[in-house]
Structure 1
């Protein structure tokens, strides 16, 4: 698909609608997570899993049917961060996840989002493979923490892997933003 054809894709397509649905699920997920019963905890888990699955399907549909839009490139990572951020903060408020883990992940996520907006005039930095691995690890770790039962060691191991990949991909995004800015400066100079 050429760049001109891509501009003709409506932002109101199924991929972007799924992204918006993911954003809309966040407050319901948080509400259910704070209700005091194992049943509501499982409802919160189900909402989180549904929201996480929309991340897979919106990306797959966008690529398969050529529904990639600038709105989607920007809204999708924001929706991801809203869902995972709400889960991490909620788990920390509930005393189930250390605040330093939540803080480290959120600082990286917000920092990269701000950086992406700062360099958007030079171009859009699409999600990398490492960013996708980071998202999967964060989702898996959060699911393990949301389960009302489960081995703590497995939770810690998966969350530890998520933290390491989160930091590493943050460094990669900063490097990609610097290169994008340098390429844009050279192009303007020529």
Structure 2
């Protein structure tokens, strides 16, 4: 199992590295340095908050508007990390903000699209995010930073793609394939948590 997970992690990291290399072709020479990666992440927070207000306070049912906002928010997640790495602006705060922004974007869409027909899946997704957040907060409280990893990134990519499809077919029921994929993202969430803790323990052993 460890060999499989290690191979999967290496494979996903290679794909993520290729994405960075492609984006760096534009980011390094052309990206305006006044626009910080955290600005992009704050935009995702704002979009997530706006979606929450539109869906649950105003009851907006305009599919094109909701899909467009969510898609733009998801795209910011594709770019902010690469911008940070490409402009040497990687910070601990930025990484923590990134994961928080992901949750703020995903949760309202998850509630909106899963509450009626897939309550257990919705509950599992939310509980997983709570566990993930509490784990990070605990280690932060003892002055230890858990770095994000490829499993968490993969989870976000899969969830973003699936929720776009679910929104497109809404109010029709999505294919079981997409529901199954969301269950798989929960596995990726726990892989992210456990692998980060394991990497931290390895670092401690090496430093001892």
TM bracket (short chain): 0.7 to 0.9
Shift of 1:91: 2.1
Cα RMSD over matched residues?
2.6
Q: 1:125 aligns with which of 143, 146, 158?
A: 146
Q: Give the alignment's TM-score, normalised by structure 2.
A: 0.71
Q: Deviations over 1:68-116 (max 9, x none)?
A: 11111111000001110111112234x2x41111111111111111101
How many residues get paired?
A: 173
Structure 2 match to 1:50: 72
Deviation of 1:153 after TM superposition, in Å, equals 5.2
**Aligned partners of 2:196, 2:147: CA distance in 1, in Å?**
10
Structure 2 unmatched runs, 5+: 1-33
Note closer, same or farther for the CA distance 1:59–1:25 as it changes in structure 2 (3 Å cut): same
TM-score with structure 1 length normalisation? Answer: 0.77
Shift of 1:127: 2.1
Q: Structure 1, unaligned stretches of length 5 or more?
A: 1-11
Deviations 1:5-44 (A, max 9, x none): xxxxxxx962101111111112322343456676x22101
